[in-house]
Structure 1
Amino acid sequence: MEPVVGLGVSKGISVAQAFTSRNEVAGKSKSIAHTEEGFEEFGEWLEELRLKTGKEPVVVRRSNGALPSRARSLYGTKWGSPHGH
């Protein structure tokens, strides 16, 4: 199984939790600011998880509201979201 990152998206900040396998938490949850720096840190965190597990993480996003267009744009640009969200 690939590592999975659950991403709770809210206005201004998102919270991510990584799992290396079903019900196996990989470290503490991480808060991600909806800024360029926040998304850079998130990308680095995903890369660390990829290196640790040897597999590409799958990100599952749950929106708790509308993802602001700037954050959606940054997220889509930085991590290749096919739909920009």
Structure 2
Amino acid sequence: MGPARRGRKMVYATDTRPCDQVAELAYKADVLIHDGMFDDDMRDQARQKHHSTVVQAARIAKRAKVNTLILTHLSSRYHQAGALLEQAR
């Protein structure tokens, strides 16, 4: 079987508003895949539709000390991901 090796922790959170439970589950995860449907200017719409902004997802990842954040479920209204990535950084 080979020598023991450290496992990997991946957390998948989509179609969700920012919440403490995701941060708790993702604590020190190798990867967090998180909903990032809207840019930060659309916080109210994100809340109404039960989604997160890219900034909210990034804050959860930072708070949870996640190694890598993968933003998913981006709205098709955004043709260039660069602006969303800048907000998330």
Work out whether the TM-score is over 0.5.
no
TM-score (norm 2): 0.33
Of Structure 1 and Structure 2, the greater strand share is in 1
Larger Rg, first or second structure (1 or 2): 2
TM-score normalised to structure 1 length: 0.34
